Structure 1
Amino acid sequence: MEKMIDVFAMGYGTVPRMVMTDRELTVEAKAIYGYFAACIGAGDTHFPTVEDICKDLNMGMERFQKHKKLLLAKGYLTIQKDPAANGRFGRNIYVVQQMDLLQYK
């Protein structure tokens, strides 16, 4: 007998249509955004490491960085330093931005 698996069991997120229809974003950038949105939807406050994200998305670090830059440039994503690091090398905190429609270019 097959075991049923709930695909929502690990959490899920919502991806704005604006992101998916933004023709200036690559499919990789949209996948990265969707990954972050799914983490937020799961109630996570800390994301997996970049290495783990790359493994999950089946992409190399250079490819991840290239397409993440598109999200940063468009304002869909921002990066904050972890305040718990107290000035030491700490983790980045990725913030999925909620953009005002009037700011959209």
Structure 2
Amino acid sequence: MTQAQAAPTTPGKARYLIHAPGGAPLTDFLALADVDPEITVVDVIGPRDSPHTAVVEISPDKARVLALHFSSASTPSQQLTIEPDQPLSMFDRAQADPI
């Protein structure tokens, strides 16, 4: 678990991953996120000059608005995707122990 995953979220907000197939669209989004008080960028993943994923803290309503906006982008290769940030685990707890 990274430090970003361990930190609690702001009440009324949740963590989401925003992913771009290339660095430019995400870089553009991050520039807009800097001036939007509804978006808190928690972490950026990827090379400094070409990040591919951002962890953001936003309200579920804002996530729906962004999802609609991303899905209506005119150029599919430039589209961003958004999904809830889920904690990672090495093993699915529901699976039986193989040993």
TM-score under structure 1 normalisation? Answer: 0.27
Q: Which has the higher helix share?
A: 1
TM-score under structure 2 normalisation? Answer: 0.27
Q: Which has the higher strand share?
A: 2
